[in-house]
Amino acid sequence: MISARTFILGSAAALMAVSGAQAADLPVKAKAVEYVRVCSLYGAGFFYIPGTDTCIKLGGYLRVDTTFNGSAHGTPAWSGDLGQHNRYADYFVSRSRMALTVDTRTATEYGVVRTFGQGDFQFNNVGGGSANPSGAFSANSLSTAGGGYVAVEFVFIQFAGFTFGKSASAYATPWQGAPGNINSALLGGHTTDTGVNNIQYTAQFGNGVSGTIGLDDPTVWGRTSVYNLSIPSAIGANGTGSNAYAGTHVPDIVANIRVDQAWGLFQLSAAAHEVNGSYNTLGASAVPNALSEISGHPESKWGGAVMAALQIKNLPTGAGDDIKIDASYAKGATKYVISTSGSSPSFAMFGDSGFGYQSVGFGATTDGVYFPGAAGTGGIALTTAWGVRGAFNHNWNPNWSTSLFGSYSAVRYDGGANDNLLGNGTRTAKGAYCAAFAASHSGQALNGNNAGNYTCNPDFNVSQLGIITRWTPVKNLTFSGEVQWFHLDQKMSGSSVFTASAPKPNALYEFKDQNTVLLQVRAQRNF
């Protein structure tokens, strides 16, 4: 009994000793947990990265678009299978996208250091000819089950007034190509709405006045095409040629002066752009051959563009109503006028005819053309373009808004259609183009001789008019419906028997202006 009691008391004493030792090892006060702190320096949504003085904001949107009688994101049926209205054309195309943005900012003795990036995770069917065996499949339109792709938009660093990376051009307006529309194909001015590789510097002069100068990579956003009109089949069935641009040698030099005030914005922009051809001798489709390098090349020329933009706020029609408008002129820089969020389009549209198999309208978009030789164009003949676009934006109430938008653009080739015919030489852009066009389209009139079936003129105008209405039932969720009319005012007249692009037959086609209408609907949730 005594032994048992001794054992129990000894065990209790041992346990108390161990417990006391463990209690002595515990800290007097637990270490504070560092919670995420709100950063109010740069607006709503920023917070400090734990353990740093850098603020970060995560955001983006989820968007679903469907376009009827057009390509993804509201491009009209102005070329390809959609322009032909053939059996390969898709009657609608949809795209689903989730955009994620990361914005970081750090205050330093040189000012704020900012980084920004946006990635778009998206999926869409090919659209506009996905079933056509002769059509090219777009590598980034992975319309397979579980497919899709990631597109990179803005990715840049800002420091002490400088911007490095993929950002909006200094030439661009804040609204880019969307003064009121949601489609990505409102022509008539400059668009770099997903960013262009550049270096630029912005100076703030006070009272809302600023100036920016930059160097833009023109490969994607600054160049259309240069045609060598001496090559075999220089102009094809659809009135377009093969691109004979040389490599990118110098960046576009761009600049703006901007005034931002409570009443709105005024901006003047300018750009200088080099136009260069590859070689004088090229094979079909502008492919080089063994004679290309020794044949020489046309001298490079400098073109450029200018733009004036205006925004008027605080209209008496309603709270938040405004007008946005910009006007552009370009010489040898047609992409600054005939511009979309993608490539600069050429046009080939088919419709009804009163006497031919069908009617057709062509519009070839180029920065310039050349025809080598003593009787040629004397180097690159630069193309002229000008345009105007704008929108009136009206808020009916906090939940409903409507925008009326439109544009008008023109492309011009210098000279006359008959400058080259009947041995008169080929000395103008229009004359060289029409000579190449005649090789694939029979019946061109010669030197004013009306006995021909058609007169050649590659000039064209394009017009767009549209309206969009938006409903925002709750904050950051918007449903939109947009209707857009597109008109091609081509300058050919008469008719010709030729073989259009397959599946069109060899037949009599009437040259005639063309029209098309599309509907785009969208649901978008911002976060």
1 belongs to a structural domain: no
**Is 4 inside any structural domain?**
no
Q: Specify the CATH number for the domain of residue 165.
A: 2.40.160.10
Backbone angles phi, psi at 384, to 5 degrees: -105, 140
Nearest Cα residue to 498 out of 485, 489, 507: 507
The number of residues making up the chain comes to: 527
Single pTM value for the model: 0.88
User: Nearest Cα to 526, choosing from 105, 98, 104?
Assistant: 98
Which range marks the domain in which residue 447 is found?
Answer: 39-526
In a domain, 264, yes or no: yes
Sheet with 493-499, strands from edge to edge, namely 347-351, 358-363, 506-511, 493-499, 454-455
- For residue 125, tell me if it sits in a domain: yes
**What's the angle, vertex CA 423, arms to CA 417 and CA 425, rounded to 5?**
60
> Would you say residue 226 lies in a domain?
yes
Q: For 206, what's the count of Cα atoms within 13 Å in the CB-facing half-sphere?
A: 0
Give the H/E segment covering residue 144.
none
The residues near 250 (Cβ < 8 Å, ≥ 6 apart) are 274
pLDDT at site 376: 87
Q: What is the 3-state secondary structure (H, E, C) of 416-444?
A: CCCCCHHHCCCCCHHHHHHHHHHHHCCCE
The Cβ of residue 415 has, within 10 Å, a number of other Cβ atoms equal to 18
Residue 11 domain-assigned? no
Q: Which two structure tokens, joined as six digits, stand for 191?
A: 């668009």
DSSP state of 284: G
Tally of structural domains, the chain: 1
Q: Where are the beta strands (DSSP E) in 343-433?
A: 347-351, 358-363, 368-370, 381-382, 384-397, 400-412
Evaluate whether residue 26 is within a structural domain: no
Does some domain include residue 14?
no
Identify residue 174 by its one-letter amino acid code: P
- Per-residue pLDDT tens, the chain, 527 aa: give them: 444 444 444 544 443 444 444 444 555 565 555 578 999 999 999 999 998 999 999 999 999 999 999 998 899 999 999 999 999 999 999 999 999 999 999 999 989 999 999 999 998 875 444 444 444 444 444 566 667 888 899 999 999 999 999 999 999 999 999 999 999 999 999 999 999 999 999 999 999 999 999 999 999 999 999 999 999 999 999 999 999 999 999 999 999 999 999 999 999 999 999 999 999 999 999 999 999 999 999 999 999 999 999 999 999 999 999 999 999 999 999 999 999 998 899 999 999 999 999 999 999 999 999 999 888 899 999 999 999 999 999 999 999 999 999 999 999 999 987 776 545 556 799 999 999 999 999 999 876 555 679 999 999 999 999 999 999 999 999 999 999 999 999 999 999 999 999 999 999 999 999 999 999 999 999 99
